[in-house]
Amino acid sequence: MSTNTSSARAPEVIAPGSGHHLHFLNHLATVKVRGGEDGALSVVEFSAPRGLGPPLHRHDDEDELFVVLSGEVAFHCGDDRLMAGVGGMAFLPHGIPHTFQVHSDTASFVCVTGSRVRAPRFDQMVTALGVPAPEASLPEPAPIDPGRVADVCLEHGIQVLGPPPAPLD
Question: Cα–chain-centroid distance for residue 93?
Answer: 13
At residue 10, the pLDDT reads 80
- Mean pLDDT estimate for the chain: 92
Tally helices (H) and strands (E) across the chain: 2, 12
Please state, in angstroms and rounded to a whole number, the distance separating the CA atoms of residues 66 and 128. Answer: 21
Residue of 21, 23, 31, 52 whose CA lies nearest to 138: 23
Q: Which domains does the chain have, with CATH numbers?
A: 20-132+144-160 (2.60.120.10)
Element (H, E) at 124: helix 122-129
Q: pLDDT of 112-136, one tens digit each? A: 999 988 888 999 999 999 999 999 9
Q: pLDDT of 53-76, one tens digit each? A: 999 999 999 999 999 999 999 999
Tell me the pairing of strands 89-92 and 63-70.
Answer: antiparallel
At residue 1, the pLDDT reads 45
Please state, in angstroms and rounded to a whole number, the distance separating the CA atoms of residues 8 and 136. Answer: 30
Please state, in angstroms and rounded to a whole number, the distance separating the CA atoms of residues 159 and 79. Answer: 18
